[in-house]
Amino acid sequence: MTQPKGRPPALFPLFAGIDTLPGVGPKGQAALAHLGIERPRDLILTLPNSGVIRRPIKRILDARPPETVTLAVTVGRHHPPTGRGRPWRVHCGDDEGGDLTLVFFHPRGDWIEKQLPTGARRLVSGKVELFDGLAQMVHPDHVLRDDEPPPAAFEPVYPLSAGLTQRVMARAVEAALERMPAAEEWIDPQVLSSRGWPDFAEALRLAHAPSSPHDLSPDHPARARLAYDEFLAHQMTLALVRREKRRSKGRASAGDGHLRRAALSSLPWPPTGAQTRAVAEIAADMASDKRMSRLLQGDVGAGKTLVAMLSALIAVEAGGQAVLMAPTEILARQHARALEPLARAAGVRLAALTGRDKGDLRTQVLQDLAEGRIDILVGTHAVFQKDVHFNDLRLAIIDEQHRFGVAQRLELSAKGQAPPDMLVMTATPIPRSLALTQYGDLDLSVLDEKPPGRQPITTVMISDQRLDEVTARMREALGRGARAYWVCPLVEESEVSDLTAAEARFQSLRALFGDHVRLIHGQMPADQRDAAMADFASGRAQILVATTVIEVGVDVPEATIMVVERAESFGLAQLHQLRGRVGRGQGASTCLLMYHPPLNETGARRLTTLRDTEDGFRIAEVDLEMRGAGDVIGTAQSGLPRFHVGDLEHQAGLMATARQDARALLERDPTLDGPRGRAMRLLMWLMSQDEAIRLIKVG
């Protein structure tokens, strides 16, 4: 196996093929590959996930069936199977006349007779059970000679795949651990002493040899230390990426504030303290000649759009252009509509560009953009296309970051004369630990206040068996001019699922409310979707039946009712986003979470959490506890690293400490050439952060 350039030779044995370990042949290699273990290094980071308590006892009478015990016996008579499917039985006795039968199904007789010759003393360990009042042990886990060491009283259990045994795994781990070279300490000495953690080699030894169930806890010093090592390598990578981004020269874009003042003077109320603070942070970043990479995180309805617009106006004040990109056409067009009055008030030109724009209109927009006559462009990923050229792009704003990959962010960077400042917005409140993990290369601004005028939303749980009541109440509300969203989980009736489909619900509501109902879902042609949305926004329609295409960003201030059907089938963050579509105007708003009884424990916790709080960050924490990190961000595009030991749900605090530790070390030792810096390089090689190591070279 060729080693990458620069990897320290001391680590070569850990990065050799897994088949270089004793007892691992081609079959074992294939079985370990199923677990993602290809090198000894992967094995030392694969810790036991549980353990078996094996109580040593002197006599069979001391066993408390069913329990796992270890004891010495004398082998008696063998009883081979008397017919197909019958087991092989071996009678054994202890020194005090107790009896124990060892039972083997699908036996290999020669193996059993060799392991358990009549009259021999053997140490056996396994689960003792009573069968017809007699003690028996089916398939002992261990059959050992007197001169072999007994199994541990608490035996670690490793994850396995077909073709692997605990014994093969334990032997391979032991051999892999012997390959760990001596290493200097890479953790900050203060962090190490305050936590009482062992050194790396000792932590590995302890983690692989737990002596009680407590030793398997993420809080055990050895496991916490190893989790921190993973987090530290990850945060050092992000710190290096961040330094690299800042090093790529940006351009100072300092505005004089005149356009921002004009836009703000047109608003009915002033921005919140959080909005003002975020704009100040963004303005300071843009005024510096280092390139901005900032994440703007705000709860539903916290007013990110205004912050985005004011940031765009800074770029225009500085003589440049800004682009705002949204993940869907609906959202891009809506952003353009929402920002148009502010652009008018500031006297700047704003235009929209989506994949649907064709022909002369598109040609004109592209020409005006290239010649600098358009100040702010709003679009979808269509702005990535080769024929889109800016005159002087200073700021790129990406809405709903997790729908855009890192590669697309880089593509966008190439659009300006120098890479533009980058502002990423997410409407999904993300627990701090995940924000640090996924967006650790970005600086963070948080909008944690609601603008004035946002109405509290009454959230109610109701069984779908009371559907008639819901439609009767809706009839009254519509009579008073209300508008309502009705969200369904699926588009068509599915044989696999009994969830009510949007199509079917649309038909039934149409029968009740006539022409006041519209339907919108992801599989409709875009122009039909736009027409339905426009009817609802203008009030020509009062009920919009929809799938989750309206989850993010759709803004109709007159809508005051949100019905979510089969609410228990949605994720917490998704329900919070859907609820955020109402409560945007003057009217009191209601969100009805319709569930199909009986509710299971998870469904009940999800819906009661939502009913009891509107705080998106609190909801995100519960979501993280319930579902795990990958699911909260959406595993497919989460960009979350896979940690072997670290557990983001339970060790969030360690991630924040690791970030501070990594950034502080890089400040003090930019080239990582000091003693701790060199140790950090070793850690990063060990944690396979090869890509990031290239970024160390120049401090």
Phi/psi of residue 514, nearest 5 degrees: 65, -140
Residue numbers of the chain with a pLDDT score lower than 50: 402, 405-407, 495-496, 498, 629-639, 698-699
Instruction: Among 151, 170, 190, give the residue marking a domain's end.
Output: 151
Instruction: Among 613, 645, 672, give the residue marking a domain's end.
Output: 613
The per-residue DSSP string of 646-677 comes to --TTT-HHHHHHHHHHHHHHHHH-TT--SHHH
What pLDDT sits at residue 256?
92
Q: CA torsion, points 29, 35, 37, 38, in degrees to nearest 10?
A: 50
What pLDDT sits at residue 377?
96
CATH number for the domain including 420? 3.40.50.300
The pTM of this model reads 0.66
Residues 416, 318 share a domain: yes
Which element (helix H / strand E) includes 376?
strand 376-379
- Pairing of the two strands 543-546 and 393-399: unpaired
Q: What is the C-alpha to C-alpha distance for residues 84 and 96, in angstroms, rounded to an integer?
A: 35
Closest Cα partner for 228 from 240, 217, 215, 218?
218
Mean pLDDT, the chain, whole residue set: 84
Assigned domain for 695 exists: no
Q: From residue 673, how far is each of 5, 84, 279, 679 by CA, in Å?
A: 18, 70, 38, 9
Residues 361, 277 share a domain: yes
Residues 601, 511 share a domain: yes
Q: Cis link prior to 66 (omega < 30° from 0)?
A: yes
534-590 confidence digits (pLDDT tens): 899 889 999 999 887 665 556 788 889 999 999 988 888 788 888 888 887 777 899
Residues 413, 296 share a domain: yes
Q: What is the C-alpha to C-alpha distance for residues 367 and 390, in angstroms, rounded to an integer?
A: 9
Instruction: Among 574, 590, 613, give the residue marking a domain's end.
Output: 613
| Domain enclosing residue 133, as ranges | 55-151
Residues 404, 531 share a domain: no
Residues 418, 270 share a domain: yes
What pLDDT sits at residue 420?
87
Closest Cα partner for 218 from 628, 632, 641, 648?
648
In total, how many domains does the chain have?
3
What pLDDT sits at residue 73?
94
What pLDDT sits at residue 661?
92
What pLDDT sits at residue 146?
83
